[in-house]
Structure formats: structure tokens, C-alpha cells
């Protein structure tokens, strides 16, 4: 919660937080401003004090919508700060102490500001933060019910759009060689479907600031390959569809993945799916209030290792086949935030009340043209129960509904799939 910030600052000996950048598409800033078209701004939060938003006078109307105290300036506050740091910081009541600098912003400008402050106000020390240990990630980790309601609302939009994609794919006509066709009879590409996804999200007031992952075959075997835009959909190939939209303007995210095979599945892909699905269910059934998140990553590694897959816990160096990532991560204003589940994550990454996090085991074999991931977003409720925020079926094989697809082409595809 925001109210944790004072305690966190005290613990770390921080006298003020200084957040740089825009009010939107900038999680640290958005957490306090709630967005708005305020650019290259500076938000100062003294310990035990109230946030003050420094803004360009031109953008004062936008800044005022935040409900924060605002100070309009002649040009962008980041520039004012670089130009005359002593004056700026004196105005802000800061003459000495440790200031934690944050924000998603222009790093070169931030380093320039730091150089100027070092030169002109040596009594102030600017302090960075290790990514996973950032103070605000600790504050953001526990969501209040209003935040969870917003995440769930994005989740509802997410599954609506996923449903539309499923409906669209399964009603395509299919060529003799198992290639799906679009409305115009042309091979259906990832590009075309992604365009529709962007549209369906925009219609619902959501955005996909980081795009989505829609990858087929070989690319499905590389977890973060977003898919080659020119790849075409074919029956019997694994499709990883990982979609992580946010409220437009840089608000709360949702994170969701399904893996599909259209018409039928290659037996190896089906076996892979079943293994991921079994692990997913075992993990979800064992989720426990206040448990350490990385223990479940260990559990996933153990489950997959037993089945003969490589995992980061059972191999040296970079793992490219098998279980190659960690089990999940917190979701909020950042698509990846606390709690983390990586082997290196600190032990205080726990499933405590207010946490919103993903569970997303997966197995990847790019050279065998397949990959599988299943992902949902969960919430630890104030009463300690762990709830999946939205529901969606777990079908792997999606039956084609177009008459042409269900006849000749599945047969054709099976042989193509055997290549």
C-alpha cells in the first residue's frame, strides 16, 4: 500500500523520493498521479510528507487532476532541475539527505541531473535501487480492493478478447495444406490477427502497450518470441497466445496465456500440454497463504525435472529447452513486479494478502516446433483465500467449426504435421 512508503523510507534511510518522467506510462509516477498528460515532470515525496507534483505550467490543468499539490514551472521540471538544482531543491525544502530517484524516464537526462546535483548540492546524495528490491515494488505489492477491481476489469476484457480470437480462428476456412484462410481467402497471418486484437482491446478501452505474444510452432518454443508477423496459422501446430493488456494511459495490467492447437494435436504436443497442465494444477492446488513464491518455482522445476525436462535448477548456464523461465511474477502497474518467484528472488517474495500474481508454467522445444504455457492471474484476498481473477477454459485442441476445415483439411494436416 502507498501508506507503507514512509516505513520503507525510514528502514532504508531515505529522506525523500524523487520520481522523474511523465505522469502516464510510468508506473512509479502513475501510482501517485493516476496518469494524465504531464511530461518530464518531477514528483517529490519527503519522508512523512505529502507528494508535490512539479509540472510545466502549460500542463497544470492535467497535473491538477491528480489531486496532488502542484507547482507549475516555466518549462519542464526535469529541465528546471538540471538548470538550477540548488534553487529547485531549496524550493522543495531539500538541502541535505539521501534522495531515492525513480521513474521510467530518459536515463541520459537523469544522469545529467545527478551530475548537476553532485556539483551544486553535494550535501544531497541520489540513490538508485536494485530492480527487485525497489521500495515502490514493496509498497505496490499489496493491492487494495479498488486496485484489484481494476486489474480484474482488465482481466475481463482480456478473456473477452481471447474468446473473440478463439472464435475467429476456429471459424476460418482451411486450405488443403492445412493453412487457415482469412475473410478474403488469403493465408491468415499473425499480423492480421494481432491487428484484430489491438482493435478489440481499443474498443474496450484497453491498450497493449507491450504488444502480445502470438507465436506458432518454432516460435512458440521460445517463450518471449512475440511471433513472426508473416507466419501463417496451420492446423495441428502449437500456438502460444500470451496477452497482457493494460488500462489505456499506463494503468493496471492483466496477464494471461493459453496454448492451442487447431483441429487436432500432434501426439507429442498433446503429451507436452498434458505435462504442463498437470504441473499447473498441482501448483495451483498447493498455493498457500504467505508461502514463499519461489518454493513453487522449485516445485515446478522438480515436477518437470522428474519428467525428464531441463530446468534452471537442474542445469548450468542458459537453458533453452525444457522449463526455461520462472513460475510467475506480481502484476500491477508493472507487468512484472513483486512478488517474484525466481531462484535468486529474496525470501520475502510471499503470497501475502493483497498480492496479485501469475502462475505460468511452460515447456519449450523450439527445434521440435512446439512450446506450451498456461497462465492465469491470481489474487490473495484479505481473508487469505487465493482466487483466480477471471476464468477461461483450458482446452488445448480447439475444434474447427468451419465445415471445410473439419472435413478434408484435418486429414491433410495430419500428414503435414508428421513432417
Please check whether residue 41 is in contact with residue 105, taking contact to mean a CB–CB distance below 8 angstroms: no
Among 5, 32, 36, 258, binds a copy of itself (CB under 8 A): 36
Smallest distance, Å, CB 228 to a copy of itself? 8
Q: How many CB atoms lie within 10 A of CB 404?
A: 14
Smallest distance, Å, CB 104 to a copy of itself? 6
Burial code of 51-85, b = ≥16 C-beta within 10 A, e = fewer? Answer: bbbbbbebbbebbbbbebebbbbeebbbbbbbeeb
Q: Using the rule CB under 8 A, is 223 a contact of a copy of itself? A: yes
Closest to a copy of itself by CB, 111 vs 394, is 111
Rama region for 185: left / alpha / beta (φ>0; ψ in -120 to 50; rest):
left
Distance of CA 257 to the CA centre of its chain: 11
**Between β-strands 370-373 and 362-365, what pairing exists: parallel, antiparallel or unpaired?**
antiparallel
Q: Which range, of 163-171, 293-301, 315-323, 381-389, touches a copy of itself by CB under 8 A?
A: 315-323
Site string for a copy of itself, 235-274 (x = CB under 8 A): -------------xx-------------------------
Smallest distance, Å, CB 184 to a copy of itself? 16
Contacting a copy of itself within 106-135 (CB under 8 A): 106-115, 126-131, 134
Contacting a copy of itself within 344-403 (CB under 8 A): 344
Q: Using the rule CB under 8 A, is 12 a contact of a copy of itself? A: no
Q: Using the rule CB under 8 A, is 60 a contact of a copy of itself? A: yes
Please check whether residue 265 is in contact with residue 415, taking contact to mean a CB–CB distance below 8 angstroms: no
Q: Using the rule CB under 8 A, is 59 a contact of a copy of itself? A: yes
**Between β-strands 238-243 and 212-216, what pairing exists: parallel, antiparallel or unpaired?**
antiparallel
From CA 225, how far away is CA 325, in angstroms rounded? 13
Among 15, 62, 255, 337, binds a copy of itself (CB under 8 A): 62
From CA 19, how far away is CA 78, in angstroms rounded? 10
Distance of CA 287 to the CA centre of its chain: 21
Closest to a copy of itself by CB, 7 vs 202, is 202
Closest to a copy of itself by CB, 106 vs 402, is 106
Smallest distance, Å, CB 200 to a copy of itself? 9
From CA 298, how far away is CA 374, in angstroms rounded? 17
Site string for a copy of itself, 165-204 (x = CB under 8 A): ------------------------------x--xx-xxx-
Please check whether residue 368 is in contact with residue 221, taking contact to mean a CB–CB distance below 8 angstroms: yes
Q: Which range, of 95-103, 162-170, 171-179, 294-302, touches a copy of itself by CB under 8 A?
A: 95-103
DSSP notation for 288-312: -TT-BHHHHHHHHHHHHHHTT---G
Bond from prior residue into 339 cis (ω within 30 degrees of 0):
yes
Please check whether residue 328 is in contact with residue 341, taking contact to mean a CB–CB distance below 8 angstroms: yes
Closest to a copy of itself by CB, 179 vs 220, is 220
DSSP 47: T
Smallest distance, Å, CB 411 to a copy of itself? 32
Smallest distance, Å, CB 259 to a copy of itself? 16
Q: Using the rule CB under 8 A, is 20 a contact of a copy of itself? A: yes
Closest to a copy of itself by CB, 187 vs 249, is 249
**Number of residues in contact with a copy of itself under rule CB under 8 A:** 76
Rounded to 10 deg, the angle between the 293-306 and 267-285 helix axes is 150
Cell of 72: 507549475
Smallest distance, Å, CB 77 to a copy of itself? 12
Smallest distance, Å, CB 318 to a copy of itself? 4
Q: Using the rule CB under 8 A, is 97 a contact of a copy of itself? A: no
Cell of 299: 516445485
Smallest distance, Å, CB 323 to a copy of itself? 12
Distance of CA 383 to the CA centre of its chain: 26
Q: What does R_g of the chain's alpha carbons equal in angstroms? A: 24
Closest to a copy of itself by CB, 163 vs 229, is 229
Among 47, 84, 86, 222, binds a copy of itself (CB under 8 A): 222
Q: Using the rule CB under 8 A, is 78 a contact of a copy of itself? A: yes
Smallest distance, Å, CB 42 to a copy of itself? 12
From CA 11, how far away is CA 320, in angstroms rounded? 40
Q: Using the rule CB under 8 A, is 151 a contact of a copy of itself? A: no
Beta bridge partners of 54: 42, 71
> What length does the chain have?
419
Closest to a copy of itself by CB, 201 vs 413, is 201
Amino acid at each position: 500500500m502507498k501508506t507503507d512508503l514512509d516505513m520503507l523510507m525510514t528502514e532504508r534511510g531515505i529522506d525523500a523520493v524523487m520520481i522523474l518522467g511523465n505522469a502516464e506510462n510510468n508506473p512509479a509516477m502513475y501510482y501517485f498521479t493516476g496518469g494524465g498528460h504531464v511530461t518530464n515532470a518531477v514528483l517529490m515525496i519527503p519522508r512523512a510528507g505529502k507528494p508535490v507534483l512539479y509540472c510545466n505550467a502549460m500542463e497544470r490543468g492535467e497535473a491538477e487532476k491528480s489531486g496532488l499539490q502542484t507547482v507549475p514551472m516555466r518549462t519542464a521540471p526535469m529541465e528546471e532541475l538540471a538548470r538550477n538544482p540548488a534553487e529547485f531543491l531549496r524550493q522543495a525544502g531539500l538541502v541535505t539527505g539521501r534522495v531515492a530517484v525513480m521513474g521510467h524516464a530518459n536515463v541520459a537526462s537523469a544522469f545529467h541531473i545527478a551530475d548537476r546535483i553532485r556539483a551544486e548540492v553535494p550535501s544531497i546524495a541520489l540513490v538508485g535501487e536494485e530492480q527487485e528490491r525497489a521500495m515502490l515494488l514493496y509498497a505496490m505489492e499489496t493491492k487494495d480492493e479498488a486496485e484489484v477491481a481494476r486489474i480484474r476489469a482488465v482481466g475481463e476484457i482480456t478473456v473477452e478478447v481471447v474468446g473473440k480470437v478463439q472464435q475467429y480462428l476456429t471459424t476460418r476456412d482451411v486450405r488443403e495444406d492445412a493453412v487457415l484462410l482469412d475473410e478474403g481467402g488469403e493465408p491468415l497471418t499473425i499480423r492480421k490477427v494481432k491487428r484484430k486484437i489491438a482493435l478489440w482491446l481499443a474498443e474496450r478501452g484497453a491498450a497493449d502497450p507491450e504488444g502480445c505474444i502470438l507465436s506458432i510452432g518454432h516460435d512458440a518454443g521460445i517463450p518471449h518470441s512475440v511471433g513472426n508477423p508473416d507466419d501463417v496459422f496451420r492446423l495441428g501446430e502449437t500456438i502460444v497466445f500470451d496477452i497482457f493488456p493494460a488500462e489505456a494511459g499506463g494503468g493496471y495490467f492483466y496477464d494471461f496465456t493459453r496454448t492451442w492447437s487447431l483441429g487436432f494435436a500432434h501426439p507429442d504436443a498433446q503429451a507436452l500440454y498434458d505435462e504442463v497442465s498437470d504441473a499447473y494444477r498441482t501448483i495451483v492446488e498447493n498455493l498457500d497463504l504467505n508461502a514463499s513464491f519461489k518454493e513453487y518455482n522449485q516445485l515446478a522445476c522438480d515436477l518437470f525435472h522428474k519428467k525428464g525436462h531441463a530446468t534452471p535448477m537442474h542445469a548450468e548456464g542458459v537453458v533453452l529447452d525444457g522449463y526455461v523461465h520462472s513460475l510467475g511474477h506480481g502484476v500491477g502497474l508493472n507487468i512484472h513486479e513483486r512478488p517474484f518467484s525466481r531462484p535468486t528472488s529474496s525470501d520475502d517474495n510471499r503470497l501475502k494478502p493483497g498480492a496479485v500474481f501469475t502462475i505460468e508454467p511452460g515447456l519449450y522445444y523450439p527445434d521440435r516446433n512446439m512450446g506450451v504455457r498456461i497462465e492465469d492471474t491470481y489474487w490473495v484476498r484479505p481473508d487469505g483465500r487465493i482466487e483466480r481473477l477471471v476464468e477461461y477454459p483450458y482446452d488445448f485442441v480447439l475444434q474447427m467449426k468451419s465445415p471445410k476445415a473439419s472435413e478434408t483439411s484435418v486429414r491433410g494436416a495430419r500428414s503435414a504435421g508428421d513432417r
